[in-house]
């Protein structure tokens, strides 16, 4: 009886070993487990004895999978099948394309079924899925020789799909001087908000539609509405840096307390995002809106901000903004400058 049990145990061990994926390293070591994914730089192998292991792609000599994997090659070809290694080449055996041979350098990505489903879902999120962004909060209060309070709030949210992007933003600043007989008692009361939708035309060219809104009590601006559309170019687009150049047209409607004006305007701008390192991101936006009815009049906006993560969801933000209008109401200044600093609460959904 005991010899039979030992034989059965040996067969089970051998069977489990055969069903496992295998990774062979350049130094001859062999690792067994389940191939999870690879981005052409690293490979993730899930093992029973050490959990998930990340292996540098260049350190691999060969792969063998017991089940089908989803493979993307740099040629643009996509395959679903098992992988094995022969004479230093990877061989993908598929039910529809037969055996396809490729070098390690030809592989763009590898994913198992679960990872492929998750990736597909991330590329085609529902309207309420795939969002990430943050909210900024800054508050200051003084009492004693001065009596003031200042509240600044901001929100950004971005939903990125395979070929499109939807972005929302809003920010508001409210400040008062509460000292007796202070004139004016309200020293800042401004709200800005907007939405922009991008749709890729090619890998670098995209079209966009946008709508921006602003109120500013101290500039006597009841509401500025600016719907527009145009084309954009991804001048730089990689994991750490994006630089978009945009050109289009908009229709501006400005309601001041003393008058209303409407005019068509051009839209010229650029937007930059750069990850300084893993915890700090800087953003910068510059836009110029010349009045097409009167080229001597224009509006310009400039925004610069940084967010430094303190942990997964909390960070510290700094932002600077300037809005310049050539023709504000009589007695009002052309520049409105806003500088805030405070906490940033990030989210992902």
309 closest CA partner among 345, 264, 339, 274:
345
Summarize pLDDT for 208-249 with one digit per residue, the tens. 999 999 999 888 999 999 999 999 999 999 889 999 999 999
Summarize pLDDT for 268-325 with one digit per residue, the tens. 999 999 999 888 999 999 999 999 988 889 999 999 999 999 998 999 999 999 999 9
Residue 81: its pLDDT value, please?
A: 92
Does residue 213 sit in the same domain as residue 188? yes
Does residue 89 sit in the same domain as residue 189? no
Does residue 23 sit in the same domain as residue 166? no
256 and 329 Cβ atoms separated by less than 8 Å: yes
Does residue 216 sit in the same domain as residue 252? yes
Does residue 109 sit in the same domain as residue 149? no
Does residue 17 sit in the same domain as residue 154? no
Does residue 112 sit in the same domain as residue 258? no
Domain count, the chain: 2
Summarize pLDDT for 33-51 with one digit per residue, the tens. 999 999 989 999 999 888 9
CATH code, domain with 330 = 2.40.160.40
Does residue 189 sit in the same domain as residue 336? yes
d(CA 34, CA 48): 9
Domain closes at, from 89, 123, 157:
123
Does residue 17 sit in the same domain as residue 161? no
Average pLDDT over residues 152-171: 90
Residue 9: its pLDDT value, please?
A: 46
Does residue 118 sit in the same domain as residue 145? no
Residue 143 has pLDDT above 90, yes or no: no
224 and 217 Cβ atoms separated by less than 8 Å: no
37 closest CA partner among 132, 118, 122:
118
Does residue 240 sit in the same domain as residue 110? no
Full residue range of the structural domain in which residue 235 is found: 131-348
Please, which pLDDT band fits residue 144 given cuts at 50, 70 and 90? confident
Domain closes at, from 123, 151, 171:
123
More confident residue, 72 or 1: 72
Domain closes at, from 86, 106, 123:
123
Average pLDDT over residues 77-96: 89
d(CA 234, CA 163): 13
d(CA 226, CA 222): 14
């Amino acid at each position: 009886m005991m010899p039979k049990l030992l034989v059965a145990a040996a067969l089970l061990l051998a069977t489990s070993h055969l069903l496992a994926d295998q990774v062979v390293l350049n130094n001859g070591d062999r690792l067994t487990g389940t191939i999870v994914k690879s981005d052409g730089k690293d490979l993730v192998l899930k093992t029973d004895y050490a959990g998930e292991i990340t292996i540098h792609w260049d350190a691999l000599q060969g792969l063998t999978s017991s089940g089908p994997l989803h493979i993307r090659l740099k040629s643009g070809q996509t395959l679903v099948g098992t992988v094995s290694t022969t004479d230093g080449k990877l061989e993908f055996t598929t039910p529809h394309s037969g055996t396809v041979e490729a070098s390690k350098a030809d592989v763009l990505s590898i994913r198992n079924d679960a990872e492929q489903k998750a990736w597909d879902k991330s590329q085609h999120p529902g309207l309420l899925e795939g969002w990430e962004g943050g909210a900024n909060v800054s508050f200051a209060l003084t009492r004693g020789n001065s009596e003031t309070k200042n509240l600044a709030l901001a929100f950004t949210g971005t939903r990125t799909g395979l070929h499109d992007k939807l972005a929302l933003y809003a920010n508001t600043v409210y400040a008062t001087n509460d000292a007796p007989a202070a004139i004016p008692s309200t020293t800042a009361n401004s709200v800005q908000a907007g939405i922009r939708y991008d749709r890729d035309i090619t890998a670098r060219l995209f079209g966009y539609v946008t709508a921006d809104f602003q109120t500013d009590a101290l500039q006597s601006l009841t509401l500025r509405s600016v719907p527009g559309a145009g084309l954009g170019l991804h001048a730089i687009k990689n994991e750490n840096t994006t630089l978009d150049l945009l050109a289009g047209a908009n229709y501006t409607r400005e309601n001041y307390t003393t008058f209303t004006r409407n005019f068509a305007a051009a839209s010229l701008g650029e937007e930059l995002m750069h990850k300084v390192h893993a915890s700090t991101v800087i953003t910068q936006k510059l836009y110029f809106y010349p009045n097409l009815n009167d080229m001597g009049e224009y509006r310009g906006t400039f925004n610069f901000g940084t967010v430094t993560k303190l942990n997964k969801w909390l960070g510290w933000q700094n932002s600077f903004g300037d809005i310049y209008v050539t023709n504000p109401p009589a007695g009002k200044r052309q520049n409105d400058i806003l500088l805030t600093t405070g906490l940033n609460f990030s989210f992902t959904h």
